Structure 1
Amino acid sequence: MVLINLFTLLLCYIFTDSVSSAEQPNVIVIVADDLGWNDVGFHGSDQIPTPNIDALAYNGIILNSHYVHSTSTPTRTALLTGKYPMRLGLQGTSFLPADKRSLPDGKLLPEYFKELGYSTYLVGKWHLGYSKWNDTPQFRGFDHHFGFYNSYTSYYDYLTTWKFGDKEYTGFDLRNDGKLAYEESGKYATDLFTDFTVKTITEQDSTKPFFIMLSHLAVHAGNDGKLLEAPQETINKFTYIVDSNRRTYAAMVSKLDDSIGAIVEALDNKKMLTNTVIVFISDNGAPTVAPQFRNWGSNAPLRGVKNTLFEGGIRSVGFIYSPLLVQSARVSTDLIHVTDWLPTLFSAAGGDIGILDPELDGIDQWSSLVYDLPSPRNDILLNIDEKTRNAALRFYNWKLVVGGIQNETLGAYYGVDVLVNTEEQIYNLEAVINSPAGIIANKINYSPLSPEEYENLRSAATITCKSKKNPCDPVGGSYCLYDIPSDPCEENDLAKFFPSVVRQMKRALVNYRTSLISQLEEETDIDNADPKLFKYTWNPWSECTKPDCQSPLDNSK
């Protein structure tokens, strides 16, 4: 055992030294929007084939205990700041169109990467404020941004419609480095953002590393009347799915999978893949049922949906792939939180962790991931919302949930019904192996995975749950305690059996509460941000002259 530990330490030393002296790795973080736990093949679902996603996951590390926040803006805040949103006043609702709120001042992930000599790109969704130009991506560390500012837009015409009171407001929301990109209308959003990413990779100076955050619109629902959109030829591949909405959703997931394959091919063609780190996560669980933005995704068998602190809302699809990982092709159940990606990826890029903000909540997990060492994280603050009085905490195997959102029905079990009434589907492992990502991963691997190894990884990543024993509803102030490794579906409340654990975790929540910043109040300014004042576009409006309010970066003025 001593010899093994010494050998591991030697490997760590060699690898750490090589990162500092060798070529810096490229880093791509791919964020799917509202993707359900059960909507990828590697979690055991047979209904929607995701061969490229599955191939990368199997050949990387499947993160089966990866946690995010329950809605978009808090998760993106945590990812880019490395801090719990409640420390920044962003623990509540996501930003609305015409919202005056924005991400508070502070250094973000792309700014750290720029200091390491990286080119930085945001492709797709921002959703962190745009009332002033200084709130937009290119003023927050990204060299380039091609995408949209709001929480969603339509998949072909890039119009976002929002209702304030009894009046609807519609505006165009697609930009390339701040300039309106009308010429891209008519192109399907998932393909558009993929093509831009592929072009960026292809044209990148191979002597300069890059950081790309590909923040897909997919598979978020869009405007009323056309919530779900996908090319008809892709929808036609899923005729075995009876429900037409679920069928379109499946096509949207399939296009997302195609995106992953295209990006891996581009990296391989450029001979960059062996020195690239790819992270894939969803920003929260699927809104299987919801008052708004239902997308017919499935988090089964997990409890809850988007906008809840149950596992279905915050336990995210996630994996990391890179040939730089020494111990890959495995399923990790170690705790990892979205805040961890800032220090982890900064470490992977050769950065000195000591220069990071000492108040980060994220923990550097790079060595743990590379060598399959014990994770340094043993607890996660899942959120504290002082307005709804809803909070949750993971501590080792335990999870404590306090209070609930107003719509308690969202804490039920959903998603199984979207999978029934279909012809029997069989998981197509050959499609995974022969997908673009699968072929390239096998080519790179020193020892390609066997079909049996693929099946074993899939089995290990699949969650199964027993029948409900002792359910608990935290709405109304109850404390619900779950042993998540043995009860991932939160069916068996153990609070009355382990009162000392409940007390300990309540004290931890109280301690976390001392650093909470009161939520930034929703403050929409639609009278001044009305798209019609800016040629029917969603545009930064504060400190602007209407209707031609151009980015300070636009030299064409």
Structure 2
Amino acid sequence: MTGYYPFHTGLQHIAILPDRAGYMPTKFPTLPEKLKPLGYSNHMVGKWHLGFCNWNYTPTYRGFDSFMGFYNGKEDYYTRMIATGYDFRFNDSVYHPQEGEYSTNVITNRAIEIMDSVDPVNDQLYLYLPFQSVHVPLQVPERFENIYSNITTKDRRTYCGMVSALDEAVGNITSALRDRGFMDNALIVFTTDNGGPTYTYSNNLPLRGSKTTLWEGGTRGVAFVYSDNLLNKTGYTNNEMIHAVDWFPTLLKLAGGEPDAGIDGVNQWPTISSGAPSARSEFVYNIDEIFKNAGISNICINKR
């Protein structure tokens, strides 16, 4: 969202929780804030998790024209409850979607509603959809769980069903983009934020480790980029070194903007669009002794 490493924004420690104040400082401009002067309409649906202890740290004060979703990180998929409180909003107001509707469907329906409010020919749209899936609590409609009736472990069966529910949602959103004429000049980025938590029935094989570890199973995220006509090379696997902070300058440059000097991210569009060598040779995992489970700090990763 900013192009800066977490240790520069002060968010390198444990996640923001309902009873623990934390926020992304306003001195770091967000991607939608940088896109707005370029004529973009910016909308967000889903998980914020970047601060809510003050209105200035919430999405509609950080560059988004609209926000539907939750401020925390692991709400009930049906009731929108976390701890003992309700957490779901439309812009600044508490909002109650249809009772019992699965959150993946709520996010999908709102995304399509936004598409219907935008002219695909004359308007420029940045649509940010941080889905709740696939995250605890493990919950999914029965029809998705039943796809995996061959799996005997209940939680693993549910987890796999959640992945399929997300897959269906992405397919529905892609179809809506195409049906409404957006795909002629659209770029779709689908990415994870960490490896799967194997302790809640995910599987990162053949990579070692899981979420909360520094092994590649916890930190080497998968992603894909799709466009009908913006990519020079398609249908291939790119294993070049790209860090999450690189999305900010990459997307901003592609939109015609210019990142501020000194950010941690680098423009990776030549790598993504053409398979060129990465623009970086190293990145910093963190500079903090909080990683006591790893036994190391001041971590810098270089290309092999």
**What TM-score does the superposition give when structure 1 sets the normalisation length?**
0.52
What is aligned with 1:84? 5
Structure 2 partner of 1:272: 182
Deviation for aligned residue 1:369:
2.0
Q: Which has the larger radius of gyration?
A: 1
Partner of 2:136: 221
Asked if 1:124 corresponds to 2:46, the answer is: yes
Q: Please, which of 131, 139, 143 is the counterpart of residue 65 of structure 2?
A: 143
Q: In 1, are the aligned partners of 2:240 and 2:271 still within 8 Å (CA)?
A: no
Conserved? CA contact 1:99–1:129, under 8 Å: no
Q: Following TM superposition, by how much is the alpha carbon of 1:367 offset from its aligned partner in structure 2, in angstroms?
A: 2.4
Q: Contact 1:278–1:321 (CA<8 Å) still a contact in 2?
A: yes
Tell me what 1:307 maps to: 212
> What is the distance in 1 between the residues matched to 2:204 and 2:98?
33
For 1:282, the equivalent position in structure 2 comes to 192
Residues 104, 166 of structure 2: 8 Å contact kept:
yes
- Residue 96 (structure 2) aligned to one of 182, 190, 200: 182
Deviations 1:412-470 (A, max 9, x none): xxxxxxxxxxxxxxxxxxxxxxxxxxxxxxxxxxxxxxxxxxxxxxxxxxxxxxxxxxx
| Paired residues of 2:249 and 2:267 also in contact (CA < 8 A) | yes
Question: What secondary structure sits across from 2:198 in the alignment?
Answer: coil
SS for the counterpart of 1:98 is coil
**Is contact 2:10-2:24 (8 Å) kept?**
no
Partner of 1:472: none
Partner of 2:223: 318
2:287 is equivalent to residue 360 of structure 1: no
Segments of 5+ residues of structure 1 without an aligned counterpart are: 1-79, 162-169, 223-227, 398-557
**Distance (Å, rounded) in 1 between the aligned partners of 2:154 and 2:180:** 39
Q: Does 1:134 align with 2:59?
A: no
Instruction: Name the SS of the counterpart of 1:345 in structure 2.
Output: helix
Structure 2 letter corresponding to 1:101? G
Aligned to 2:238: 332
SS of the residue 1:332 aligns to: coil
CA deviation after TM superposition for structure 1 residue 84, in Å: 0.8
Deviation for aligned residue 1:316? 0.6
Aligned mate of 2:106, from 174, 181, 192: 192
CA contact (8 A) 1:86 1:384 kept: yes
Read off the aligned partner of 2:124 and give its amino acid letter. Answer: P
For residues 484-523 of structure 1, what are the structure 2 equivalents within 5 Å? none
> Are 1:373 and 2:280 an aligned pair?
no
> Cα distance, 1:197 vs. partner?
0.7
Partner of 1:44: none
Q: Deviation per CA, 1:226-247: give whole Å up to 9, x if none.
A: xx11111221111011111111
Alignment partner of 1:111 is 2:33:
yes
Q: Percent identity?
A: 39
Letter in 1 for 2:149: T
Q: Distance in 2 between matches of 1:134 and 1:89?
A: 16
Counterpart mapping for 1:59-98 below 5 A:
80-98=1-19
Aligned match of 1:395: 302
1:298 aligns with 2:220: no
Q: Deviations over 1:269-321 (max 9, x none)?
A: 011112111111111111111xxxx3x11111211111111111111121111
Q: Return the alpha-carbon distance in structure 2 between the equivalents of residues 82 and 254 of structure 1.
A: 30
Contact 1:158 1:185 in 2 (8 A): no
Q: 2:23 aligns with which of 93, 102, 109?
A: 102
For residues 174-193 of structure 1, give each alpha carbon's deviation from its aligned partner in whole angstroms, at most 9, with x where no partner exists.
11112111243311001110
Asked which structure has the greater RCO (Cα within 8 Å, sep 6+), the reply is 1
Cα distance in 1 for residues equivalent to 2:264 and 2:182: 31
Matching residue within 244, 253, 258 for 2:154? 244
| Aligned AA (2:202) | G
CA offsets, 1:464-494, max 9 Å, x none? xxxxxxxxxxxxxxxxxxxxxxxxxxxxxxx
Q: What CA distance in whole angstroms lies between the structure 2 residues aligned with 1:261 and 1:136?
A: 29
The letter of the residue matching 2:207 is: L
Alignment gaps of 5+ in structure 2: none
Tell me the amino acid that sits aligned with residue 117 of structure 1: G
Give the drift of 1:250. Answer: 0.9
Q: Please tell me the residue identity of whatever aligns with 1:362.
A: G
Q: Aligned equivalents of 1:368 and 1:239: distance in 2?
A: 41
